[in-house]
Structure 1
Amino acid sequence: MKKPFIVVALVAGLVIAGLLYWNSRQEDAPSTLILHGNVDIRQVSLAFDGNGRVAQLLAEEGDAVKAGAVLAVLDTRTLALQAAQAQAQIAVQEKNLLRLRNGSRPEEIAQARSRLAAANADTYLANQELLRLQGIASKTAGRGVSVQDLDRAKSSLQVAKARGDEQQKALRLAELGPRAEDIAGAEAQLQVSQAELALLQHQIDLGSLLAPADGVVRSRLLEPGDMATAQRPVFALALTQPKWVRVYVSETDLGRIKPGMGARVTTDSHPEQPIIGKVGYIASVAEFTPKAVQTEELRTNLVYEVRVLVDDGRDVLRLGQPATVELDGGVAP
């Protein structure tokens, strides 16, 4: 009966000893993970979308700029003259299209009718002259009128009839007005000219280099008079947001952090004014890859990049500045 009791007592003793050892390890393990790194921010190389000569630079190195601020301007005088020419051409085409849509004026129709009436009168006179000559010829057995006079009278009548037909068709066209195809063609030509003007205006707008976001000018790479291209940056802009501290965590501490974990960031310049942040990125691949065949010791030397995002409302952090990161409760979840 004593043997089972002894076994139970031994098992209980081992369990208690294990718990005491685990608690002592937990007490010895630091609750705060301290890491060291450098401040990092995004940078933008600003260049014009097209080619041209730099006319003005409106920012200096170190200037704080707001999103949408004009930083540089190209010489766009040639484009402006082309735009003015296109605008004048559009005005002419608009008037022409309006004329086609309105059709013939009443005065033009009245003028066409008058011309038709005159042509009909000429036809009547030519016909009367021919009848008169034919009557004389019939009474005199052809001796009172020459053959040439009769032929000339017949030709005059034919010419008068042709002119009358021409004036009749002209009156018809005036009454119908322009063809639908002519109006559509004028509209299409106007649209082409408007698109050309819009393109010129867009190119003029691209002559102003705008800041894409709030930031600080780090470098001024061109000067007024330089030729700018899409491949030649004019400014290097450091964005004020977002900012983060890039730190590296050893493989043994990797399990103690997780995304979203709260952090405090301090610098040598403001050691008593921590900046609140949080873990935003944990690399899934080691920064430096050891040999293919690893020993237990080599695996513990691996480091992983971690980015701690910070809300630097006072704008005290600078690019590359050393910083200390404290992660509270740096324990694996």
Structure 2
Amino acid sequence: MPWTKRILYLSVVVLAIVLIFFTINPNTKRDVVYETISASGRIEGRTTELTANSPGKVIELRRDEGESVRQGETLAILNDAAIRAKLDMAAQQLAALEKQLQAANTYLEILTDQVDLEIKQAKASVNVAEAKLQTARAAFTVAEKESQRVKKLEQQQYASEQMKDTAILQTEVRESSIREAEAAVLQTQAQLALAKLGRKRIDAKRAERDALSMQSAQAESSMRELKALIDDWNIQSPLNGTILTRSIELGEQVRPGMPLFTLMDLQRVTLKVFIPETQIGQLTLNQEAEVLIDAYPDRRFPARVKQIAQQAEFTPKNVETREERVKLVFAVELAILDNKDNLLKPGMPADALIVVQAPVNPL
């Protein structure tokens, strides 16, 4: 429809609405008449491009262009034999590492208990040996004193030669016991030192266990990454909307970042129009409006002023006449409030009637 004819058509429609309104409501106050500003534009909307996160082959297509979808609904399914093989291998590797880790933990626990017991027993042996050494030294001291006493008595002829020899023999025996006890102490101390070396074995086994634990964690991380790739094969809609374009075919091999679907929430479409600077002062945010399209001449879609540009611009080039293009206009975005039947789609030409109030003389 040419631009001038469209404006004329809208003006006739508005006048008819006003006449019908006052015919039906003769008691209505006539000191304020609702007027409208008419403008034309195209339906717009925010699109969401759904891309592939992981490589795969399209093995199933469940939705096509023009179909309405719900958030979380599966649109397509991908598959990749190589990734599944990697996942199976990673699962086997993780299972083997977990078994090794379990065995390492069990061995480390047993080794720790064993070393602790050996150290405890070695310490007890050292204590016994040291106690025997103290006893031997005490006995030697007694024997030596007895030998000195008998020696003096023998010099005074109060003790026989036999008594002196016996005392000397006892001293030698006690001295020999000391040497044996000292050797036992040294031996038990060596056994204790050897038992304490078991702690280094524990440290070595603990390091091996920690290395296995790290390998297991890495294998588990690899599995999670592979599972995430597989989860991404289930291509789901991120919103309630309509599929505008489908960019893939059944059997096609896709790569990460490749576009799959373009979606739009048709419940949130807008109409962008351009208002002359002479009329922009009559508009405010949230003003009521109606949207009309040629495809549905009997339908009126309610709307509100959502956004008003702060700076003027020249009329866009898609306006038909040069006279209109050289005018300064302000871009105005109308939010369409009801598109539940998804009749309004991006790119459709549409007309807008923005309701304004202007005081006029009573009829």
TM-score by length of 2: 0.57
2:349 is matched by which residue type in structure 1? P
Aligned equivalent of 1:198: 224
CA distance 1:171–1:53, shift in 2 (3 Å): same
Q: Residue 346 of structure 2: SS of its match in structure 1?
A: coil
Question: Of 298, 304, 307, which residue of structure 2 is paired with 1:278?
Answer: 304
Aligned equivalent of 1:145: none
1:149-200 deviation digits (Å, cap 9, x = unpaired):
xxxxxxxxxxxxxxxx9xx879947995863323322222211111111111
Aligned equivalent of 2:341: 314
**Displacement of 1:223 after TM fit?**
1.2
User: Given the alignment of the two structures, is residue 34 of structure 1 paired with residue 61 of structure 2, yes or no?
Assistant: no
2:352 is matched by which residue type in structure 1? V
1:54-108 deviation digits (Å, cap 9, x = unpaired):
2222222222111222222222222122112111111111122222222268799
Q: Residue 103 of structure 1: SS of its match in structure 2?
A: helix
**Displacement of 1:39 after TM fit?**
1.5
1:70 is matched by which residue type in structure 2? T
Question: Of 70, 95, 100, which residue of structure 2 is paired with 1:96?
Answer: 100
Question: Of 198, 220, 223, which residue of structure 1 is paired with 2:246?
Answer: 220
**Displacement of 1:30 after TM fit?**
6.8
Question: Of 334, 347, 356, which residue of structure 2 is paired with 1:329?
Answer: 356
CA distance 1:106–1:265, shift in 2 (3 Å): closer
Question: Of 76, 81, 89, which residue of structure 1 is paired with 2:85?
Answer: 81
Query: Any residues of structure 2 matched to 1:1-333 within 5 Å, and which?
Result: 31-103=35-107, 172=198, 179-288=205-314, 301-311=327-337, 312-329=339-356
Distance 1:192 1:242 in 2: 45
**Displacement of 1:277 after TM fit?**
1.7
1:310-331 deviation digits (Å, cap 9, x = unpaired):
1222322222223232222256
Contact in 1 for aligned 2:266/2:344 (Cα 8 Å): no
Larger-Rg structure: 2
Distance 1:308 1:298 in 2: 21
Distance 2:86 2:267 in 1: 41
Contact in 2 for aligned 1:251/1:300 (Cα 8 Å): no
Distance 1:198 1:96 in 2: 21
CA distance 1:90–1:196, shift in 2 (3 Å): same
Distance 2:69 2:195 in 1: 71
Contact in 2 for aligned 1:251/1:299 (Cα 8 Å): no
1:252 is matched by which residue type in structure 2? T
Contact in 2 for aligned 1:244/1:308 (Cα 8 Å): yes
1:308 is matched by which residue type in structure 2? L
Distance 1:228 1:201 in 2: 18
1:243-265 deviation digits (Å, cap 9, x = unpaired):
11111111111111122222222
Contact in 2 for aligned 1:38/1:245 (Cα 8 Å): yes
**Displacement of 1:306 after TM fit?**
1.0
Contact in 2 for aligned 1:257/1:330 (Cα 8 Å): no
Give the share of equivalent positions with the same residue, in percent: 24
1:72 is matched by which residue type in structure 2? A
Contact in 1 for aligned 2:36/2:353 (Cα 8 Å): yes
Q: Residue 33 of structure 1: SS of its match in structure 2?
A: strand
What 5-or-longer segments of structure 1 have no aligned partner? 1-26, 114-164, 291-296
CA distance 1:175–1:320, shift in 2 (3 Å): closer
1:224-261 deviation digits (Å, cap 9, x = unpaired):
22232345422232332311111111111111112222
CA distance 1:171–1:95, shift in 2 (3 Å): farther
Distance 1:178 1:330 in 2: 88
Contact in 2 for aligned 1:266/1:323 (Cα 8 Å): yes
After the TM superposition, which of the residue ranges 281-290 and 186-195 deviates more from structure 2?
281-290
1:276-330 deviation digits (Å, cap 9, x = unpaired):
221111122334289xxxxxx9999211211100122232222222323222225
CA distance 1:289–1:34, shift in 2 (3 Å): closer
After the TM superposition, which of the residue ranges 247-256 and 200-209 deviates more from structure 2?
200-209
